[in-house]
Amino acid sequence: MKIAIVSFLILIGVFGVYRYLKASNTRIIVDKATIDSNAKVLDLCIKKLNSEEQLCISDFKGKKVLIVNVASQCGFTYQYKDLEKLYETYKDKLVIIGFPCNQFGSQEPGTEAEIATFCSSKYDVTFPITTKVMVKGENQHPIYKWLTSKKLNGVGDYSVSWNFNKFLLDENGKLIGYFSSRVNPLDKDITGLIQ
């Protein structure tokens, strides 16, 4: 009986190593976009909200970039106000990019036109907003794949756990900070990295 249990545990271990090696392949296929382990976030682009125009992270080289997954019907939606204030205060050295996402409690159900109207009419948002994206799972957008994978970003593995998670990049596209939803955009931990 002990031999059978030991054999079973070894088999599970071998299968686990196989899954790990398969998952650690240097090429990652996401949403029909291929990112290799040498990818830089500066190389990645996404469509602007309600537009065919592309927004590339490289457009903002020389400024810090705060990437935030946003939603219109969340308990943290009030952070739009503080994000706009942060953007207005530091716009000479900071760009904020909002990524609408409906993956958490279905709190961003609107069309792109509805999201654009909400952002401008309710919070006077002037920072760039992208097309609606998936920030986790099988169809995770390549930008979020880079942000959440140590293999790609070179810093750490992160999980986007809810709306209004924040990732801060330095002027050269290096990841320098991750902040949960509960960290206000005007928190000194964020502003200290911007100043």
**Domains along the sequence of the chain with CATH:** 2-194 (3.40.30.10)
Lowest mean pLDDT of 5-9, 55-59, 86-90, 116-120, name the range.
5-9
The predicted-structure confidence for 44-84, as pLDDT tens digits, reads as follows 999 999 888 999 999 999 999 999 999 999 999 999 999 99
Given a cut of 60, is residue 1 above it in pLDDT?
no
Dihedral sign from CA coordinates of 43, 90, 53, 133: positive
Q: What are phi and psi of 95, to 5 degrees?
A: -120, 135
Rounded CA-CA distance 114/23 in Å is 38
Look at residue 40 in the predicted model and tell me its pLDDT: 84
Total length of the chain: 195
Look at residue 150 in the predicted model and tell me its pLDDT: 94
* Residues that are catalytic: 74
